[in-house]
Amino acid sequence: MEEENGALIQSLIDVVNEIAWISDFRHTVKKQYCNLSRRLKLLIPMFEEIRDSQEPVPEDTLKALVLLKEGLESAKKLLRFGSEGSKIFLAIEREQIMNKFNEVTARLEQALEGIAYDKLDISDEVKEQVELVLAQFRRAKGRADVPDSELLDDISALYNTSNDSSIDQDRLRRLSEKLQLLGISDLAQESIALHEMVTATDGDPGQSIEKMAGLLKKIKDFVQTENLEMDDPGREKNSPASCSGQISNDKNNKAPIIPDDFRCPISLELMRDPVIVSTGQTYERSCIEKWLESGHGTCPKTQQKLSSTTLTPNYVLRSLIAQWCEANGIEPPKRPSSARPCRSSSSCSPAERTKIDILLCKLASGNPEDQRSAAGEIRLLAKRNADNRVAIAEAGAIPLLVGLLSTPDSRVQEHAVTALLNLSICEDNKGSIISSGAVPGIVLVLKKGSMEARENAAATLFSLSVVDENKVRIGASGAIPPLVTLLSEGTQRGKKDAATALFNLCIYQGNKGKAVRAGVVPTLMQLLTEPGTGMVDEALAILAILASHSEGKAAIGSAKAVPVLVDVIGTGSPRNRENAAAVLVHLCSGDEQHLVEARDLGVVSSLIDLARSGTDRGKRKAAQLLERMNRLFEHAVHPEEIRVLRLQAPESRPQNQASQSTSTTEVVGS
């Protein structure tokens, strides 16, 4: 039963996250649909706190959550059609659409009202947030937005006109502008949307859809006659500033329809250099850089606070865009060289390229002496500069180096893995290393190589796992247990390399259990308690990620971590106090024993200080712990002081797992 309840809560989180991805609503429903999407995203903190709580969910609340899931699924379907459906249909059938919209919002409101919030283990700030959502639903119910009468008049006049010669050109112009049907791409998308509606009726569209298709033809003829260009980013008053050029297909004078996933959410244009921000969203690099340079600290799409301004290249999406461009017979968009750490082709001289070719011949020779010297030279060349890293990869060195990872010669093995580490600094080389099947060989070196080779293997895995898709592959390769071993027995540098790799891998939820089962928690506790390890920052950062996992929470509790956490909350650095409080929040969720132990160890005064002067996240975690103590122990803290501290704590926002991290330094090969 608990597993079923957990699956229900996770499904609620998943469906709201799917809703968060839906954007660019049609003009006629934009205001209402944007408001609904925004309100639903505010429910995620409640679902997350219910999921992380150990207290049972009341039966009546479970029934309400089931109804809420059904309402959210209906809302997702509604919002998706408002983003992808026919613009003409949404305008003509606006009254019908809004009736459906009101039905869905009424179902959501009814389900939310059926939840017994006072019986749930959720923070007061989350309760207040949900109460705000409910209040917004109630207020919206009594409002009736006035439709665009001019738009309706124009549609009515053109919809029922059969004589093309009598069509008012001004009406067509206004209609094409308001429906945003101004270019070939938009008209093609609208045509596809109407075609999908026909398909949904089993080929019997009925008179209304046929008339909509007729109206679309009038608009299309007008656009082609007037030669309006929707692809001009300056066409729309409210459209975002353009960040990259549009594509065209001169061969047939028709621009292919760009998939929505390939468009930057800011510019709405084809991405040429897609990068991932800390919330997991992808943007065109130049656009998100302009956003950040303007002083914004949030994700433009989700409005979540960015935990860092690091931009991670989205290699998979970039590859898909290139494949799509090739399939459509157009040149892939080129990225500016200034946005990349290394160029697509190097400026090495012919002599240098000849030298690299000679080294590769030695790598492939099968002679251990030649392989050892060549791998060592390539290692040094790849360390030296970006041009060398590009040239070495272009020459075909990566598959040869991967083949040497399994050699019995420990020195050759060490040179090969370190050369791969240095080559991986170049973004484009990461994908080549992964596609060459390097991960199993790197893991083999991590298990059986010399200490220096093991350390550099760990650093290589960290460098490759910067790409989110690689976290899954590396975790499934058996890399985590030997990383935990290196964390325990390596040199200071080796422990740092292992910690950064483990931290990065454990951002992916599926790797957390693997790390716990590999024994990482006792090792981390040892690093926290032994003097002079210099690993407190890394250990707490990893524990803060693992504590949100059920196995991680149990292991941390069994490791008698509470005294250590209390000590860090009282005396640690701001970031370490924040992470220690985050771990303690998870431990104390549904477990009064840990809460009693923390109070007896004198944590209250440290929490009050953290709630007043800590980091934003530290303040929130401290306020949550103080509230729980007040519920368990009468007047552990004066209620008025709790209220003041809660008001001072920054607003909680839904956060990606990566937002709990400390920053990690870039690994540079030896």
Query: What DSSP line would sit under 122-136, residue for residue?
Result: --HHHHHHHHHHHHH
Specify the range with the lowest mean pLDDT, choosing from 14-18, 312-316, 379-383, 405-409. Answer: 312-316
Average pLDDT, the chain: 79
Question: What is the token pair recorded at 320?
Answer: 């898909």
Average pLDDT of span 255-266: 77
Q: Mean pLDDT, to the nearest integer, of 611-618?
A: 85
Q: How confident is the model at residue 488 (pLDDT cuts 50, 70, 90)?
A: very high
What is the distance between the terminal CA atoms of the chain, rounded to a whole angstrom? 52
Q: Which of 498, 500, 439, 499 is nearest to 472 (CA)?
A: 439
Q: What whole-number percentage of the chain has pLDDT above 90?
A: 23
Decide: helix, strand or coil at residue 348.
Answer: coil
| pLDDT > 60? residue 324 | yes
Distance CA 62, CA 663 (A): 39
Q: Of 509, 542, 505, whose CA–CA distance to 523 is shortest?
A: 542
* Alpha-carbon gap, residue 506 to 487, rounded angstroms: 14
Q: List, for residues 3-60, the tens digit of each pLDDT value.
A: 677 788 888 888 888 888 787 788 788 888 888 888 898 888 888 888 888 788 888 8
Q: In what order do the strands lie in the sheet with 282-284?
A: 282-284, 274-276, 312-313
Where do runs of H (alpha helix) occur along 179-254? 184-200, 206-226
Point out the least confidently predicted range of 171-180, 347-356, 448-457, 608-617.
Answer: 347-356
CA distances from 434 to 340, 347, 460, 473, 474 (A): 20, 25, 11, 9, 10
pLDDT exceeds 70 at position 430: yes
- Residue 112 near residue 134, CB atoms below 8 Å: yes
- Of 36, 175, 183, nearest to 92 by C-alpha is 175
Q: Is the dihedral of CA 192, 262, 33, 28 positive or negative?
A: negative
pLDDT at residue 595 tops 50: yes
Cβ-Cβ contacts under 8 Å for 158 (sequence gap 6 or more) = 167, 168, 171, 172, 175, 215, 218
Amino acid at position 162, single letter: S
Superfamily of domain 260-328 in CATH is Zinc/RING finger domain, C3HC4 (zinc finger) (3.30.40.10)
The packing angle between helices 574-588 and 550-558, to 10°, is 100
Residue 313's H or E segment, with its range, is strand 312-313
The pLDDT value given to residue 650: 52
E strand or H helix at 397, and its extent? helix 397-403
Do 653 and 298 meet the contact criterion of CB atoms below 8 Å apart? Answer: no
Going by C-beta distance under 8 Å and a sequence separation of 6 or more, which residues neighbour residue 272? 244, 284, 321, 332, 333, 334, 335
Instruction: Give the residue, 445 or 640, on which the prediction is more confident.
Output: 445
Counting Cα atoms < 13 Å in the Cβ hemisphere of 337 gives: 7
Contact 466/504 with Cβ under 8 angstroms?
A: yes
How far is the C-alpha of 410 from the C-alpha of 406, rounded, in Å? Answer: 9
Per DSSP, what are the bridge partners of residue 298? 305
The CATH code that applies to domain 348-428 is 1.25.10.10
3-state secondary structure 563-612: HHHHHHHHHCCHHHHHHHHHHHHHHHCCCHHHHHHHHHCCHHHHHHHHHH
- The rounded radius of gyration (Å) of the Cα atoms in the chain is 29
Residue with more model confidence, 650 or 100: 100
What does the pLDDT look like over 532-567, one tens digit per residue? 778 888 999 999 999 988 899 999 999 989 999 999
**pLDDT at position 649, please?**
52
341: pLDDT strictly greater than 50: no
The residue-averaged pLDDT of 600-625 equals: 87
- Of the candidates 374, 467, 455, 454, the one whose C-alpha atom is nearest the C-alpha of residue 426 is 467
Average pLDDT over residues 620-643: 71
- Determine the Cα angle at 263 with ends 257 and 269, to 5°: 80
Q: pLDDT tens across 577-586, in order?
A: 999 999 999 9
Phi, psi of 295 (to 5 degrees): 100, 5
Does 654 score more than 50 pLDDT?
no
